[in-house]
């Protein structure tokens, strides 16, 4: 049985199409990642699936219930952690979880044991008496997750849960998500971090409200028709600009201090790139083929659609 199913799901706002005919399925017990840049339609999709807003057209079912006709039933079976999850800074960690227990109607009998389990589960037990307002960003995200789990949801929706969180906290957060999946929870997570999407069972690449691809991370990578050349140069930004202007390639992107070139003719492109950069006095330490990442695929797919071949990732 599918935990989530959508059919031509769409949402428009006064002349703007935010979600454009999404059709996909999420199986029970998997982590599904909706991946795309800001403004791609991730949050709108999540708000539709959690019955916070109604679609302009199309249908969707979550935990076996229709998002419009059975909205109240859905809200009882899901947990939703939005980008601005409402923690109360003047309440302690334990008090915040207890407050959400009241909101979700969790019986008082046996609740204390459940709160203790969530505190241990999220590594927050040593901080249970600390005010939420005094927590670090990563700890606030863990607390938000604990609050969203107090009523034992079947499907958990997380809208960019690790945005702005340090790498160590991001890793801890994902370790908790894997544990939830082992306990039978289905997780639908949106993220702008394409490297993070590699942790998902399956991913959907979304851009301007349209689903570009939907498959396992490895399956999505197979959309790359060419080879990725990694160029390490003394002036990466200048190198990226030059190669984008003068090198015939399917896409050229800047990934930190390295330039990625997507090409169907890697040997010829490598020699040509070396020549172009040398002519401009930019020293090159290495040019080599590498395995494509989801970022590379995303850039390549957009370039094929004529929507740019430039991508900067600091």
Tens-place pLDDT, residues 89-138: 999 999 999 999 998 888 888 888 888 888 888 889 999 999 999 998 88
Overall average pLDDT of the 57-72 stretch: 95
- The CATH 3.40.50.300 domain(s) of the chain lie at 2-221
Of 3, 189, 182, 6, nearest in space to 83 by CA: 189
311 has pLDDT over 50: no
Please give the backbone phi and psi of residue 123, each rounded to the nearest 5 degrees, phi first.
Answer: 60, 35
Residue 314 confidence (pLDDT): 42
How many degrees, rounded to 5, is the angle at CA 59 between CA 54 and CA 65? 85
Overall average pLDDT of the 36-62 stretch: 93
Q: What is the percentage of the chain residues whose pLDDT exceeds 70? A: 96
Burial (CB < 10 A; 0-12, 13-18, 19+), residue 145, is buried
Token pair for 226: 């060419």
- The CATH 3.30.70.100 domain(s) of the chain lie at 227-313
Cα distances (angstroms) measured from residue 296 to each of 18, 51, 303, 314: 24, 34, 10, 14
pLDDT band at residue 175, thresholds of 50, 70 and 90? confident
From CA 188, how far away is CA 168, in angstroms rounded?
Answer: 22
Overall average pLDDT of the 289-297 stretch: 85
**CATH number for region 2-221:** 3.40.50.300
85 has pLDDT over 80: no
pLDDT band at residue 203, thresholds of 50, 70 and 90? very high
197 has pLDDT over 70: yes
142 has pLDDT over 60: yes
Token pair for 119: 């505190």
Burial (CB < 10 A; 0-12, 13-18, 19+), residue 109, is exposed
Does the domain at 227-313 match CATH 3.30.70.100? Answer given as yes
Residue 57 confidence (pLDDT): 95
Residue keyed to tokens 């958990």 = 156
């Amino acid at each position: 049985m599918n935990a989530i199913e959508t059919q031509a799901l769409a949402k428009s706002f006064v002349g703007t199409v935010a979600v454009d005919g999404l059709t996909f399925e999420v199986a029970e017990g998997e982590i599904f990642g909706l991946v795309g840049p800001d403004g791609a339609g991730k949050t709108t999709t999540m708000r539709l699936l959690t019955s916070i807003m109604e679609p302009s057209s199309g249908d969707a079912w979550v935990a076996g219930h229709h998002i419009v006709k059975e909205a109240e039933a859905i809200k009882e079976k899901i947990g939703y952690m939005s980008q601005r999850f409402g923690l109360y800074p003047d309440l302690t960690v334990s008090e915040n979880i207890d407050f959400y227990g009241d909101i979700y109607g969790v019986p008082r009998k046996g609740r204390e044991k459940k709160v203790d389990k969530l505190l241990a589960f999220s590594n927050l037990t040593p901080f249970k008496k600390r005010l939420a307002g005094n927590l670090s960003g990563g700890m606030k995200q863990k607390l938000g997750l604990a609050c969203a789990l107090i009523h034992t949801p079947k499907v958990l929706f997380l809208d960019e849960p690790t945005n702005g969180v340090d790498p160590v906290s991001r890793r801890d957060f994902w370790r908790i998500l894997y544990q939830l999946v082992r306990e039978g929870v289905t997780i639908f997570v949106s993220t702008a971090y394409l490297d993070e999407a590699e942790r998902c069972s399956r991913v959907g690449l979304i851009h301007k409200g349209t689903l570009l691809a939907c498959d396992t991370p490895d399956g999505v990578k197979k959309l790359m028709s060419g080879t990725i050349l990694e160029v390490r140069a003394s002036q990466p930004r200048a190198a990226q600009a030059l190669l984008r202007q003068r090198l015939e390639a399917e896409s050229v992107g800047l990934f930190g201090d390295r330039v990625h070139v997507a090409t169907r003719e890697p040997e010829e492109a490598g020699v040509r790139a070396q020549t172009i950069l040398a002519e401009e006095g930019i020293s090159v330490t290495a040019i080599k083929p590498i395995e494509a990442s989801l970022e590379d695929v995303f850039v390549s797919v957009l370039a094929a659609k004529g929507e740019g071949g430039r991508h900067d990732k600091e």
